[in-house]
Chains A and B, each alone.
Chain A
Amino acid sequence: MRAAVRLAAWVYAVAIYGFIFLPVVVLVLFSLQATSFPIPPFTGPSLRWYQAVLSDARLTSALVNSLLVAVASSLASVTLGFLSAWGFARFVLPGSALLRGLITLPLTVSYLIIGMGLLVLFNWAGVPKSLLAAGIGHVVINLPLCFAIIYSQMGDHQINIERAARDLGAAEWKVLLMITVPVMAPAIFAGFFLSMTFSWDEFVISFLLTRFETTLPVEIWNLLRSGLNPKTNAVGSLVFAVSIVLVVFFELTLLRRKPA
């Protein structure tokens, strides 16, 4: 009886892994397809579709745009998030809980609605659609995340180091730059890389707020109109590879930090 339960459990686990990995395996496998359709039978292997992606000016410039928006918006998110987390963790402010709630509020609203709101506002204010507009939207969704990560990691043990620095005559900005930032570096990097992955993968806000120059997910979306195509598989596999690199950085920064 016990053996039967164990066997059933393993079969179930393998089935779930199969379900989870099926689309990813199919994606990568058929990106290596030699012929023009990403459907069975597999005719590969060939790297021609990767070559086609890398020589496609629209896709490569979208890739550069995506990286640019991801880096810039993540830097802005992590800077604003860090400063406010420090402010809330170290000082007593009136209405602190309410204000912290306000900063984290965008986490509970779907990206579509955040994008819609910005579209209506920018439309009224006469702000043209652009990468900058999309980047502003990315900061709206990533700032609460950076704030939450960094704020949760602001422990009491850093207070004493900061106090010691102040006693030794350091100005506030010196304490911030030379003590708090290095001590909080793991949380800051974690916030940064997590923001990067979210911005890199974000579609709806970029779709609504950009027009001529746009990000990679939007270009992939446009590519989908041409139907099933191994080029889409190749670009998808490349996006997957970049995300994995970012996630590895995230793992190394937050989860592998030395126990306090």
Chain B
Amino acid sequence: MASAGNNPRALPWALVTPALAWTCAFFVLPFIAMGLSSLTAHEGGGFTLANYSQFFTDPSYWRAMVNSVEVTAIVTVISILLAYPFAWILAEMVPERWQRLALMLAVLPFWTSYVVRSYSWLLVLAQNGVINRALTGIGLIGEPLQLANTRLATVTGFVHFFVMLLTLTIFANLKQLSPSYRKAAADLGAGPVRTFLHVVLPLTLPGIMVGAFLTFVLCIGDYITPQILGGNNELVMPQLVMMQIGRRGDFPLASALSIILMAVVTIAYLACARWLKIERA
């Protein structure tokens, strides 16, 4: 610090270098290591593209990617459809002074441990869990339904998380919307439905797209919820990655699968880039 104080040009670099060095050493370098690792054989080392070709030729690996994309797409769509009206109600119908509290209540479960939250859904969805007990109790069904260890359970757990997230982003977007747009539309003779479809929805689209992108990225990269709620019936990509490490110690293949997963996220980013840029400007 003393030498930095004597030389005014060295000071700014002394401030920013530790953070940059950390990011290079523990983010960039690991990424390069992973890239190199993905090009080596599990046993014996040596350069090979086998890990990538295995992904493209083995149907069970393809299946995991298809599952990942399907689950993520379903979750994203359901979450937006559920969150939008809810954010609307919070923004438009709840009195101003209660909005903060209403929003805080809506995101309170965010702060339970993520692992525990998925487990809690298991309590609700299990064979003898809350839902099955309630349904058999009132005599609606004779036999308990198979709810846990299914795609439905995975989607439910994810939607629970992302409805909270999307409510936040869409709410913020609706609050930024000036009421004069809607007044203008009404003055020009548009009914509530037309006003919504032609004015409000297009203006909140950037917010929806940002939320949808966040949902996509977090959902497709998550291991916990599919593992706890989906079980091992229908593997998704992160489960496949963890399996290579946990059961087989195959770091090169796990690296290759991670890089493929990242490539998919990058493609999603490029697809949304138009809206994501609007938001940043």
Q: Residues of A with Cβ closer than 8 Å to B? A: 6, 9-10, 12-13, 16-17, 19-24, 26-27, 30, 37-41, 80-81, 83-84, 86-88, 90-91, 93, 99, 102-103, 105-106, 108-114, 116-121, 123-124, 136-137, 139-140, 143, 147, 171-173, 197, 201, 203-204, 208, 216-217, 220-221, 224, 228, 232-233, 235-236, 239-240, 243-244, 246-247
Contacts and interface: CB of A to CB of B under 8 A. Distances in A.
B27 to A, nearest CB: 5
B30 A121 contact: yes
Contact of A17 (B31, B105, B121, B251): B105
B170 interface: no
A21 B114 CA distance: 14
Given A23-B160, A91-B11, A239 B19 contact: no
A106 B27 contact: yes
Contacts of B19: 80-81, 83-84, 103, 143, 147
B211 interface: no
Contact of A105 (B27, B33, B37, B126): B27
B115 A203 contact: yes
A137 B30 CA distance: 11
Contacts of B114: 201, 203, 217
A189 B16 CA distance: 20
Interface string B51-89: 000000000000000000000000000000010011001
Nearest 8 Cβ contacts at the A-B interface = A110-B221, A117-B30, A87-B15, A23-B120, A236-B116, A91-B12, A84-B19, A87-B16
B258 A113 contact: yes
Interface centre among B22, B89, B105 (most CB of A within 10 A): B22
Contacts of A216: 113
A143 B23 CA distance: 9
A236 B82 CA distance: 27
Contacts of B20: 84, 99, 102-103
B218 A120 contact: no
A24 B161 CA distance: 12
Contact of B18 (A80, A204, A228): A80
A24 B262 contact: no
Contacts of B164: 20
A19 B4 CA distance: 56
Contact of B123 (A17, A26, A120): A26
B117 A112 contact: no
Given A112-B258, A143-B23, A26 B120 contact: yes
Given A30-B123, A140-B23, A201-B114, A120 B82 contact: no
A19 B160 contact: yes
Contacts of B37: 120, 124
B34 interface: yes
Given A17-B106, A112-B238, A232-B119, 12 more contacts: A26-B120, A83-B18, A84-B16, A108-B265, A118-B26, A123-B251, A173-B5, A208-B245, A220-B119, A224-B228, A240-B116, A243-B111
B243 interface: no
A198 to B, nearest CB: 10
A88 B17 CA distance: 11
A83 B116 contact: no
Interface in B150-187: 160, 163-164
Contacts of A81: 19
Nearest to B261: A113
B133 A172 contact: no
Contacts of A103: 19-20, 23
A203 B224 contact: yes
Nearest to A230: B123
A23 B12 CA distance: 49
A114 B18 contact: no
Nearest to A21: B109
A41 B129 CA distance: 10
B81 to A, nearest CB: 12
Contacts of A87: 11-16
